[in-house]
Amino acid sequence: MMTSTRYIPETRLRRLRQTPTLRDMVRETHLSTHDLILPIFVDEGISERQPIKSMPGVFRETEESLTQFLKDSEKNGVKSFILFGVSHHKDDEGTDSMKKGGLLDRMISRAKDAVPDSLVIGDVCFCEYTDHGHCGPIAENGDVDNDATLENIAKQAIIAAEAGADIIAPSGMMDGQVGAIRAALDESSLGNVPIMAYAAKFASTYYGPFRDAAGCALGKYEHVAKDRKTYQMDPANAEEAMRETEQDILEGADMVMVKPGLAYLDILYRVKSTFKMPTFAYNVSGEYAMLKAASANGWIDYETTMMETLLSFKRAGADGILTYSANDAAKILNDR
């Protein structure tokens, strides 16, 4: 007669998962409204806020509707915002964003007036303000002129800071852009304004809905490069991402960002672990759109999947998350 040799484990990890209160007690990673940064599109050419078809639930705000939207979001507990202009005064250099009274200046000033106790982040780049859609003026070879862009982005950063931006966030991935902005801010008695560097920004197809929302798609001119691969990073390169991040830190970045988020959690983890800087993840438009599309088809539950996604950024090391789901997440967190 055979004796049972069934194994009985002495350590049972399931013991700590038996009730919601017990799971809350031992939870390792926490998400709060303080982690959320809401991107907002401001269109100077519309009289009513317009839904963005590729991003259900997200709108292009008018300059007037921006005020109420910010106040409503602040009431939800969202206290940080990053603004993207949808310009109707474009040219080959994006000069509207480098002058007083331009859209960049106006929308940041309006935002600070609306929510003076919240953080307003000024995204400084030229893709929304150039007629060709690239992130700087074009050189004779059809590519972006890196060093001419540095001079321009320094001017753009000063406009944003003087308008009241609490943080400057350069997203163009030009070599030397953080150093150029840091020098310009310091020389203009704006040295206390921090820089959030888009330190590791990859040339990703996940940005598609953003290009629709911000009106910065490429392809208008034959002589201009049809993609951004000469300045945004190759998705295959992890070591280069570390070098890019280190360079931005050496040039004076106060915070760093990894963009996109979901497909680059390994980069996010390495950046946080290596540099131990305030580190942010951008839950980009394509990631948001995928959740919305899958939810609309009944394949997933939007709210639970969205919260799981945001938690994954925190678990990988993010100190904050730029996400179009910020208001949705804040309402859920407030109800807990």
Tokens 């004779």 belong to which residue?
140
194: cis peptide before it, omega within 30°?
no
Report phi then psi at 126, rounded to 5. Answer: -120, -5
The catalytically annotated residue of 79, 112, 201, 272 is: 201
Tell which residue, 60, 243, 42, has the closest CA to residue 129. Answer: 42
Residue 201 a catalytic site member: yes
Pairing of β 59-61 and β 50-51: antiparallel
DSSP state of 227: S
Please give the Cα distance from 209 to 84 (Å, whole number): 14
Tell which residue, 161, 85, 175, has the closest CA to residue 130. Answer: 85
Tell which residue, 249, 243, 324, has the closest CA to residue 291. Answer: 324
Coil, strand, or helix at residue 224? Answer: coil
- Where in the chain does DSSP place strands (E)? 36-43, 50-51, 59-61, 80-86, 119-124, 167-170, 196-201, 255-259, 279-283, 320-323
Which residue pairs from 252-255 have beta carbons closer than 8 angstroms and sit at least 24 positions apart in sequence?
A: 252/178, 252/179, 252/181, 252/182, 252/195, 253/178, 253/195, 253/196, 253/197, 253/199, 253/277, 254/194, 254/195, 254/196, 254/278, 255/167, 255/194, 255/195, 255/196, 255/197, 255/279, 255/280, 255/319
Please give the Cα distance from 25 to 16 (Å, whole number): 9
Identity of the amino acid at 29: T
The catalytically annotated residue of 79, 259, 292, 314 is: 259
Residue 292 a catalytic site member: no
Please give the Cα distance from 274 to 67 (Å, whole number): 39
Active site residues: 201, 259
